[in-house]
């Protein structure tokens, strides 16, 4: 009798085991698949002041008395820009010195510019239009100095967190020289290295 009870208990365990193992398991909830969060490009903030050095080339031609010439120009620049997100707006000052010979009659000594610039924020670089007031200073020939205006295009790109490099192409007109009837137009192309704060 004792052996019969053991046998019956063993048989029940053998036959019930697979049924419990495979039949009574309650499936859990399906795993939730999470999509990775989108990576948002964090744009550079161009807001703040900058100072820089520039090196360029100027070409001057005149109407009235013909005084033409071209030469290297070098100078300083200082700007303050404000980054609105997709658009940047700023203003600043440039001063270039040169020894540009005007037909052996006079020499262009310096060009000063005060202007605004505005353009599109491309994250680590930007492209802009610029315009403003300009002044040409000359020596010799009774030519004198002249106020005028400038307009052009520029591009600036960050090299690291504090230094940017840039390029500008500018057109100028001057028509208030001391020499009667003299008007001049000048085109300059320059590259710059800027320190941003």
Instruction: Please check the confidence at residue 1 and state whether its pLDDT lies above 60.
Output: no
Per-residue pLDDT of 110-138, as tens digits, reads: 999 999 999 999 999 999 999 999 999 99
Residue 32 included in any domain: no
> What mean pLDDT is predicted for residues 49-56?
98
> What mean pLDDT is predicted for residues 12-35?
60
CB 55 within 8 A of CB 96: no
Say if pTM beats, i.e. exceeds, 0.85: no
Residue 131 included in any domain: yes
Output the domain CATH number for residue 150: 2.40.160.20
Name, in order, each residue with C-beta under 8 angstroms of 126's C-beta and a sequence gap of 6 or more: 46, 88, 119, 120, 155, 156
Domain count, the chain: 1
Residue 192 included in any domain: yes
Domain that holds residue 169: 48-196
State the pLDDT at residue 28.
Answer: 67
State the pLDDT at residue 13.
Answer: 54
State how far Cα 59 lies from the chain centre: 26
Instruction: Please check the confidence at residue 162 and state whether its pLDDT lies above 60.
Output: yes
- Residue 44 pLDDT class (50, 70, 90 cuts): confident
CB 54 within 8 A of CB 74: yes
Residue 2 included in any domain: no
> What mean pLDDT is predicted for residues 181-191?
96
Residue 38 included in any domain: no
State the pLDDT at residue 31.
Answer: 72
State the pLDDT at residue 128.
Answer: 98
Top-confidence residue, 42 or 28: 28
State the pLDDT at residue 11.
Answer: 53
State the pLDDT at residue 35.
Answer: 72
């Amino acid at each position: 009798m004792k052996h019969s009870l053991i046998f019956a208990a063993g048989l029940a365990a053998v036959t019930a085991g697979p049924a419990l193992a495979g039949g009574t398991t309650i499936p859990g909830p399906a795993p939730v698949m999470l999509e990775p969060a989108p990576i948002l490009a964090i744009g550079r903030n161009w807001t703040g002041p900058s100072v820089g050095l520039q090196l360029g080339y100027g070409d001057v031609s005149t109407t009235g008395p013909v005084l033409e010439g071209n030469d290297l120009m070098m100078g300083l620049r200082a700007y303050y820009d404000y980054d609105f997100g997709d658009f940047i707006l700023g203003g600043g000052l440039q001063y270039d010195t040169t020894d540009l010979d005007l037909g052996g009659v006079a020499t262009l000594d310096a060009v000063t510019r005060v202007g605004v610039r505005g353009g599109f924020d491309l994250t680590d670089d930007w492209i802009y239009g610029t315009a403003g007031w300009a002044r040409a200073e000359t020596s010799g020939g009774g030519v004198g100095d002249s106020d005028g205006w400038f307009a052009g295009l520029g591009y600036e790109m960050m090299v690291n967190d504090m230094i940017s490099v840039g390029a500008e192409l500018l057109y100028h007109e001057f028509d208030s020289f001391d020499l009667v009837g003299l008007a001049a137009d000048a085109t300059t192309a320059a590259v710059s290295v800027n320190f941003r704060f």
